[in-house]
Amino acid sequence: MAHRDPVAPLLSVEAYARLPDDPRWRDELSRGRLVREPGPGHEHGRIQVRLGGRLERFVAEQQLGYVTVESGFVLERDPDTVRGPDVAFVARERYGDRLPTRWPEFAPDLAVEILSPSDRLSRMVEKVAQYLGAGTRLVWLIDPAERIAVIYRSATAVRVLREDEELEGEDVVPGFRCPLAELLD
C-alpha cells in the first residue's frame, strides 16, 4: 500500500532528486508529496518485461522513439509531480537526437501501469489523470488479477479489453499490436 505523509513539507523536483535511494521502496512525487510503495512482485515484473521488450523491439525497428521502464517524467510543477510509468514510450520528434539524462519535463506519449496486489484503484486513477492532464496521449492500465486492460485516451474515452483482445498502439505507436493474453500467461 502506498504511503503519503500529509504533514511533511511539499517537495520540489530538485529536493526529490536529492533523496537517497532505498531499494525496499518505489518512490514517486505527486503534487509535492512523496508517495512510497513496496516494490512490485514477480508477476508484475514478468508482464513489464514482456511488454517492454515487445514494445522496444517494435519501436527500434520502426525508429519511432524510445521505450523506458520505471523512468521518471516531470508531469506537473508547483506543486511538482514526478511519475515513473511501468513502461513508457516517447516519440522521436519529442526529444531530438539526445535522450534526457534525468527526468524530462514532459509526459510520455504512452504510459503503461500494471496493477500490483498492493495498488489501490484510487491511486491508479490519480496517476492516469496526471498522465492525461500532462499530455500523455494513451494510457494502458493492465490488471493481471482481472485479466483485463483499461485503455484511456482521455478521462471520458475509456474502454476495457478482455484477455482475448489485443493492445494496439493506435496513432501513438502506429502498427504495434500485442495480444493481452500473451502478456498475462
CA distances from 184 to 55, 64, 178 (A): 15, 26, 11
pLDDT in tens, 85-137: 999 999 998 887 777 778 999 999 999 999 988 777 788 899 999 999 999 99
pLDDT in tens, 14-69: 999 999 988 888 899 999 999 988 888 889 999 999 999 999 999 999 999 999 99
Q: Between β-strands 110-114 and 33-38, what pairing exists: parallel, antiparallel or unpaired?
A: unpaired
Closest CA to 44 of 135, 167, 175, 142: 142
- Does residue 1 have a pLDDT over 50? no
Position 5 scores a pLDDT of 53
Q: What is the mean pLDDT of residues 135-156?
A: 96
pTM value is 0.92
Q: What is the set of domains in the chain, with CATH numbers?
A: 40-184 (3.90.1570.10)
Neighbouring CB atoms inside 10 A of 118's CB total 14
